[in-house]
Structure 1
Amino acid sequence: MTEHSGSATAAPPHAATAAPEASAALAARFGLSVSGRRPGLPEYTRLLWGRRHFIVAFATARLTAMYTAARLGQIWQVLTPLLNAAVFYLVFGLLLGTNRGVPNYIAYLCTGVFVFQFTQSAVLAGTRAIADNLGLIRALHFPRACLPIAFTVIQLQQLVFSMGVLGVIILVTGEPLTFRWLLVLPVLVLQSVFNAGLAMTMARIGAKTTDMAQLMPFIMRTWMYLSGIFWSVSTVTAHVPHWISTALNLNPALIFNNLMRYALMDSVAASALPHHVWLAVTAWTVTVGLGGYLFFWRAEEEYGRG
């Protein structure tokens, strides 16, 4: 009896690559592509724009559902920043006296609280945008950037609803209605793009590091204390080194607050704004908005995978 050698039954050397090559040829023939493949940036942007109606509908539905269990419903969209402003006024305005030297402190404080809460809520929601929607991500195929952008739209809808109440507060406290109020629209547009960029950045980080959702409230609270919400920047910068003053004035949250106050409050003069304020806010918006979008897109294939 002859002994068969192992090489007699071994597959030819090219057999290992034959099957993948055949599969690739079939896929190319029938126009198939890898599931979950990250499209190029122009294609991804086109797909994202095509889902714009989904983004708005998703944001509106989530906003409506957010307050269905509460007796006061969507009134909490206004009550929440108002209650925050009342607490800050009690602690910082009355007890700590940070209202000294600030004309119309109530309008100053309320504007800062409303504007910063827009950024804070968008960032916190963006951090959990992927982790809290894994079922949707795994069930449907769509550009994942839809989610952090949709959560930013939710916060924008809340802010727009609240701006009516803020306008009443400002008028009641003695500020006149002027043409500067028209600046509210470009400020909101710039801040929305800035917030969306931050939300997308944190969505990618939060998808990989789930503990970030627990850490972000502390980071956002620290940022709030440094953003001139309830104290006058000019008063503080008069007593600190120049580099600290420069850093404070370059804070994007402070810039958005100051621009909104300048738009709504006649008592806030142009001299109170940082130098080249529109250039600075545009630079922040483009850098964070575009940078966050690119940062999120580069990990598109990873979202929703175990």
Structure 2
Amino acid sequence: MSTVYEQGPAVTTVADPNAGLSPVELARKYGLAVSGARPSLREYTRQLWNRRHFIVSYATARLTAMYTTAKLGQIWQVATPILNAAVYYLIFGVLLATSRGIPNYIAYLCTGIFTFQFTQSAVLAGTRSIADNLGLIRALHFPRACLPIAMTVIQLQQLFFSVLVLGVINLLTGEPFDARWALMIPTLFLQFVFNAGLAMFMARIGARTTDTAQLMPFILRTWMYMSGIFYSLKGHVSGHLLDVLNFNPAMTYISLMRYSMMQSFTSADLPRHVWAMAVGWAVVVGIGGYVFFWKSEEEYGRG
């Protein structure tokens, strides 16, 4: 292709320097990039780290907004776990009598409920994190992993209130405050990494199949009943089946929280290699969920 310029009687022909170049070659020539293209994993991680303040601020704002329409406001952050514990104690501790043989069943039950609720809420919120924020995704450019991670941060912030309540419950039921309580810090950190990875994993699936959010409560309820929250696994199963159930990540973090806060829950009650499993689940699910989510980064919010 050429361009023709008329200058009076003379005509000048100029060759088009881009003639014959494909769109890809033109983009490369002028330094253009695909809008919304997925960056490398290293660059993606750098962008995510640079937005860490946004993640915390977004999570805090969402948490505050959750209770603005309720008359009791953020008191529900404390009341909700207490009411849950009361209901489960009535059903399992009193009516079904699963408390037999378990020292300090109230503390045992409450620790299991509060710890599992951290994972359950993070997974549910993570599953909906993309579908519920399409307007934000289409309006702004940012690493989409900010959303499921922010949902997990919200649940961690709520857990802080629950842990305060849990500490009071344990003290009132006779558990002493000792140095073992410090083990809650590494336990909750590892559980947070695990939850964030699982939330990102489910966020990608939920973005593709929105019906997943309707199915997850049933899956999580089944998981809860298999995690020894209301009863002692040792009192109901044994042998290889007990080893398989103890490999359950929820059971791993629940056991560590019970060991941290309950003197009546001894090292003999812990699953074998519990710390190795806690670290392993956090690393495998945390990193695996992150990479799995990143691979579809450019697809979120489209369609």
**CA distance in 2 between partners of 1:18 and 1:154 (Å):** 48
CA deviations 1:25-49 (Å, max 9, x no partner) are: 12x2xxx321111000010000000
**Counterpart position of 2:300:** 303
In structure 2, the residue matched to 1:128 is 128
1:100 maps to what in 2? Answer: 100
Q: Does 1:149 align with 2:149?
A: yes
Q: CA deviation at 1:245?
A: 1.2
- What's 1:258 paired with? 255
* 1:270 maps to 2:274: no
- Gap runs ≥5 in structure 1: 1-13
Distance 1:23 1:102 in 2: 68
- Whole-angstrom CA distance in 1 between matches of 2:186 and 2:27: 52
Q: How many residues are paired up?
A: 286
Deviation at 1:78, TM superposition (A): 1.6
CA distance in 1 between counterparts of 2:283 and 2:251 reads 17
* 1:7 counterpart residue number: none
Structure 1 runs of 4+ aligned residues shifted over 6 Å read none
Q: Which residue does the alignment assign to 1:38?
A: 38
- The equivalent position to 2:28 in structure 1, one of 24, 29, 37, is 24
- Cα distance change on mapping 1:176 and 1:19 into 2, 3 Å: closer
Give the match for residue 5 of structure 1: none
**Offset, 1:247:** 1.2
1:137 equivalent to 2:141? Answer: no
How far off its partner does 1:246 sit? Answer: 1.5
**How far apart are 1:76 and its partner, in Å?**
1.0
CA distance in 1, matches of 2:45, 2:93: 46
- 1:218/1:178 CA distance change after superposition, 3 Å: same
Aligned to 2:210: 210
The residue identity in structure 1 corresponding to 2:235 is T
Q: Which structure 2 segments of 5+ residues have no match? A: 1-17
- Tell me which residue corresponds to 1:6: none
AA of the residue aligned to 1:248: L
1:194-209 to structure 2, matched below 5 A, reads 194-209=194-209
Q: Is the 8 A contact 2:27 2:33 kept in 1?
A: no
Tell me the C-alpha RMSD between the 2 structures. 1.2
Tell me the TM-score normalized by structure 2. Answer: 0.92
Question: Aligned to 1:237, what secondary structure does the other structure show?
Answer: coil
Distance 2:233 2:74 in 1: 33
Identity across matched positions, percent: 68
Distance 1:35 1:211 in 2: 29
> Aligned residue for 1:113?
113
Report the TM-score, using the length of structure 1 for normalisation. Answer: 0.91
Report the counterpart of residue 232 of structure 2 in structure 1. Answer: 232
The secondary structure found in structure 1 opposite 2:93 is helix
